Amino acid sequence: GAVVSQHPSWVICKSGTSVKIECRSLDFQATTMFWYRQFPKQSLMLMATSNEGSKATYEQGVEKDKFLINHASLTLSTLTVTSAHPEDSSFYICSATQNYGYTFGSGTRLTVV
């Protein structure tokens, strides 16, 4: 079955630094990947839609200059949280489409101290 690999699974960083999260589709090509954020005891909220070779489309309220998304190939999308602050601490999860369903990565727990 389709597998999406996401890492790191967890990361702790200092306030003001940047963190990069990778999302790879291992056995299929994903023209579109999605990035979600989940705060404790809340559901997943779509942050942006990433299309290979083009700029990402961000949801309302998501700062594109803070959350940099790069989708340089059909199997890799990256999310970089720039100048991280404690309020950016959250669970970030990516997904990729294949046929009709979505496959999700295992998520990244980001803690900014």
Partner 1 sequence: KQEVTQIPAALSVPEGENLVLNCSFTDSAIYNLQWFRQDPGKGLTSLLLIQSSQREQTSGRLNASLDKSSGRSTLYIAASQPGDSATYLCAVRRVTNDMRFGAGTRLTVKP
Burial of 47 (0-12, 13-18, 19+ CB in 10 A): buried
**Could you give the CA distance from residue 99 to residue 10 in angstroms, rounded to a whole number?**
29
Segment 1 to 40, residues that bind partner 1, using CB under 8 A? 6, 32, 34, 36
User: Which string of x and - marks every residue 36-55 that binds partner 1 (by CB under 8 A)?
Assistant: x-----xxxxx--x------
Q: Any contact of residue 66 with partner 1 (CB under 8 A)? A: no
Q: Any contact of residue 106 with partner 1 (CB under 8 A)? A: yes
Cβ 80 vs Cβ 63: under 8 Å: no
Q: Which residues bind partner 1 (CB under 8 A)?
A: 6, 32, 34, 36, 42-46, 49, 91, 93, 95, 97, 100-107, 109
